[in-house]
Amino acid sequence: MNDDAEHPLLKPAWRCRTCGIAWPCSVAKLRLLGRYHGRPDELIEHLETLQTEATEDLTRLYGGKTPDGLTGRFVGWVKARQPTHSRPGADSSSPGVDRPGRAHPSKDVRVAPVHGRRGGAPAPEE
């Protein structure tokens, strides 16, 4: 599996070879999100490893000066994309939505009295 082939990471400059911009470019980000779908922790771990590597390379490249913004570039965008856990009308993932003890619809059927005593009719039953 080599799905970074179209937007490969070019070391030690840490640029996308296709876009020429700082890696990960937006395409590379989308690929990472797709590959680590549902596993944001693993993705962040992976990017933190890359960031450590990039920091070493770039610091050497910049003559011993560490460039700014590497955390935001490598890890920050993932955290910014994390869905907030307070979505209204959330799906099955949020507890408490599917409440037990819902009323059975059949209980709503009211049986009409066939021979009811209505009004003030005296019903002598003793």
Cα separation, 24 vs 76, whole angstroms? 12
Contact status, residue 10 vs residue 57, Cβ threshold 8 Å: no
Closer of 16 and 75 to Zn ion (Cβ): 16
Q: Shortest distance, CB of residue 98 to Zn ion, whole angstroms?
A: 43
Q: Shortest distance, CB of residue 34 to Zn ion, whole angstroms?
A: 15
Cα separation, 8 vs 35, whole angstroms? 15
Among candidate residues 23, 41, 50, the one with its CA nearest the CA of residue 78: 41
Closer of 9 and 59 to Zn ion (Cβ): 9
Q: Shortest distance, CB of residue 1 to Zn ion, whole angstroms?
A: 18
Q: Shortest distance, CB of residue 28 to Zn ion, whole angstroms?
A: 5
Residue numbers of the site for Zn ion (CB under 5 A)? 7, 16, 18-19, 25, 27
Closer of 8 and 67 to Zn ion (Cβ): 8
Query: What tokens does 46 get?
Result: 């992976």
Cα separation, 64 vs 52, whole angstroms? 15
Closer of 25 and 32 to Zn ion (Cβ): 25
